Amino acid sequence: MISTKNVVKVGIAQLDIVKSPDTIRTSGLGSCVGVVLYDETKKIAGLVHVMLPDSSLGKTSTMNLAKFADTGIEALIERLKLEGIQPYRLKAKIAGGAQMFQFTTDKDTMRIGPRNVEAVKAELKKCGIPLVAEDTGGNSGRTIEFNPETCLLNIRTVNQGVCDI
């Protein structure tokens, strides 16, 4: 049997959704956080590649909702609702949020990775979505791929191999 599986690729500050048997992937997760929301019974998942913690950091009049934790997760929930997903059925897995550069300053503005993780967790809590697994922090970049059929998030970390959560 020939596999007809496609891999939907999500770029930085983008979001998309996928239905089984397709998978969804994003690369270049340094300080960014990949947030996967999924409904395990309907085998549908969405992924948003969050770049910054808070949309108040946006400096343009036309805002890219997927760029920020607060607006990106909300926008992804809305996309999933268009597919008939009930938000109360959603679960979340996240990866990324690395501290990519070592700074000698304690300035909070330089802690983008940890702040992204905190903002994503706060938004998930606000939306009532349980966070069931995470691979965050450290100082290595990641590529993630989610399979809505198995509900496994495959994580490839620079210098640290591969794992599934």
Give the residue numbers marked as catalytic: 32
Whole-number Å distance between alpha carbons of 159 and 127: 34
Tokens representing 3? 């596999």
Q: Which helix (H) or strand (E) holds 25?
A: strand 23-29
Q: Which two tokens stand for residue 62?
A: 């036309």
CB atoms within 10 A of CB 22: 17
**Distance in angstroms (rounded) separating the CA atoms of residues 64 and 56:** 12
